[in-house]
């Protein structure tokens, strides 16, 4: 943590809607829909929406499929 008590590492692991859309290869509209349906946890910071890297990873892991 820095002198103001902010964990800068945690802040570095926050992504915008456009960044998450690019990471997942889907549209921003689809990210808004996932957020609205409660499928993708988010953080509101003022008027901005951010997503934690760990929540994005969990979202991906929950959708892994194995074909046998």
Question: How do residues 20-65 score in pLDDT, each as one tens digit?
Answer: 999 999 999 999 999 999 999 999 999 999 999 999 999 999 999 9
Residue 12 confidence (pLDDT): 73
Contact in structure between 28 and 17 (CB atoms under 8 Å):
yes
In a domain, 1, yes or no: no
Q: How far is CA 12 from CA 6, 38, 58, in A?
A: 11, 23, 18
pTM of the model: 0.79
pLDDT at 7 over 80: no
Range of the domain at 50: 8-62
pLDDT at 9 over 70: no
Contact in structure between 49 and 13 (CB atoms under 8 Å):
no
pLDDT band at 11 (very low <50, low <70, confident <90, very high): low
In a domain, 2, yes or no: no
Q: How many domains does the chain have?
A: 1
């Amino acid at each position: 943590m820095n002198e103001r008590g902010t964990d800068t590492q945690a802040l570095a692991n926050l992504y915008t809607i456009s960044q998450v859309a690019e990471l997942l290869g889907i549209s921003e509209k689809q990210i808004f829909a996932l957020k609205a349906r409660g499928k993708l946890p988010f953080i509101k910071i003022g008027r901005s929406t951010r997503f934690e890297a760990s929540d994005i990873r969990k979202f991906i892991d929950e959708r892994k499929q194995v074909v046998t």
